[in-house]
Amino acid sequence: MLVFELQRTHIYDLFAQGNIGMREMISLSRCWNVWLAISASVCLACSAFFCGLICKNSAEAENLTTSFENEHGSFFSLFMANPTQMSAGYLYEPSHAEKGGPGEFDLDRYFFHSEAPAPISEDLYLRIGADYDRKDYTFTPVSNAGMQLDSETMHAFVLKGGLGFFPSENVLLTGVIKPGIFSDLDGGVDQEDADLYWEGMAVYKLNPGAQIIGGIARDNTFDDASIYPLLGIRLRGEDGRLNISLTFPREFRVGFNFNPSWELYFDSRIEGEQYRVNAGASDFDVRTQDPRLGVGTNYWIGEHLNLLAEVGCNYESTLYYETRNSGQFSGDLDPAYYLMGSLGLRF
């Protein structure tokens, strides 16, 4: 919730004096994203329908899934560092302060991620899933700020639909579209809360312990580039214990398996998002970016249940309220520590 002092200059002045044209352009762009999101959802539903026609009964679907896993299971185990198909978790980040400014907040983050491959044939599969991410910011009051921040809750709802295809046993071509809503949900939802992310990759297996990756993605991970290239590599030691995963520029991960059930890992990654916030008289964007360094552990209970715990720190994070005179949170944050845990499932 945002509480504003009564001042002569209001946030909606940001769009006055010649900036209306830009606002209309942004609105049209977001409207186009909504239509793309609707089209993507329709395509996803049609794909699921045709997949159901292909797999006419559960026995046939089970046989196809088994055949697909036997053919490509080792490829996916190297490509995906922690292959859960569904996970839910919590992150706590206390006392994150604005660098050189008066602002400070505690963050409680709740997240849910899912994506399950649905084989259509031995070499073709659907990518179907959904994500939800909720961030609860509790701000320390600052008496002399032009904009008083009490608390704010940001939501991200994302649907995922795509395809993966193996033209050969050593090559994977895959892409996914991600229509979503990114908003505080105050005042309802409109086209300005919507956005469309997407990603495409080509993965080539050099040998059983090495893969190289090239691709392109569009999202709001980075402040200065919504579309950026992806370059990566996957490496596994001869004994299968050491795993190295690089997806530049988003993530670098090193994991060591003490046994098939227990892994210790180091992870460096960048997380970022942009949300639309309702402020009564007008709306504005809030941008977040969090480079994280973490150390954690994965533990598998049987073949289907995964427990994850991680501790780490943020460095060079930003929280930016895109208003004229917010008085706080217009740039970099001091380093801060966080704790994270999650529960994952693999079917």
Going by C-alpha positions, the residue among 293, 319, 339 that lies closest to residue 137 is: 319
Predicted TM-score (pTM) above 0.95? no
pLDDT band at 171 (very low <50, low <70, confident <90, very high): very high
Beta bridge partners of 252: 246, 268
Regarding predicted confidence, which is higher, 239 or 25? 239
pLDDT digits (tens, 9 = 90+) for 306-338: 999 999 999 989 888 776 555 556 568 899 999
Q: Token digits for 209?
A: 């312990």
User: Residue 294: pLDDT above 60?
Assistant: yes
Average pLDDT over residues 212-238: 95
d(Cα 185, Cα 347) in Å, to the nearest integer? Answer: 33
Supply angle C-alpha 229, 230, 232, rounded to 5: 150
Residue among 187, 197, 190 at smallest CA distance from 27 = 190
CA-to-CA distance for 290 and 267, rounded, in angstroms?
Answer: 13
pLDDT at 59 (0 to 100)? 65
Average pLDDT over residues 223-231: 92
- Identify the pLDDT of residue 338: 97
Q: Look at residue 285 and tell me whether its pLDDT is greater than 60.
A: yes
H helix and E strand count, the chain: 2, 18
**Residue ranges per domain, the chain?**
2-345
The dihedral sign for the CA sequence 140, 313, 193, 282: positive
Q: Encoding tokens for residue 2?
A: 């945002």
Residue 195 has pLDDT above 80, yes or no: yes
Q: Which residues of 227-239 are buried (b: 16+ CB within 10 A; e: fewer)?
A: ebebebebebeee
Q: Which residues pair with 165 in a beta bridge?
A: 124, 173
pLDDT digits (tens, 9 = 90+) for 259-270: 989 999 999 999
Tell me: pLDDT of 190 over 90.
Answer: no
Q: What is the pLDDT of residue 25?
A: 40
Lowest mean pLDDT among 132-141, 155-164, 169-178, 323-332: 323-332
Inform me whether the pLDDT recorded for 117 exceeds 60.
Answer: yes
Residue 16 has pLDDT above 60, yes or no: no
pLDDT digits (tens, 9 = 90+) for 57-68: 566 777 888 888
Of the two residues 130 and 325, the one the predictor is more confident about is: 130
End-to-end CA, the chain: 40
CB atoms within 10 A of CB 28: 11
Measure the CA–CA gap between 49 and 194, rounded to whole angstroms: 26
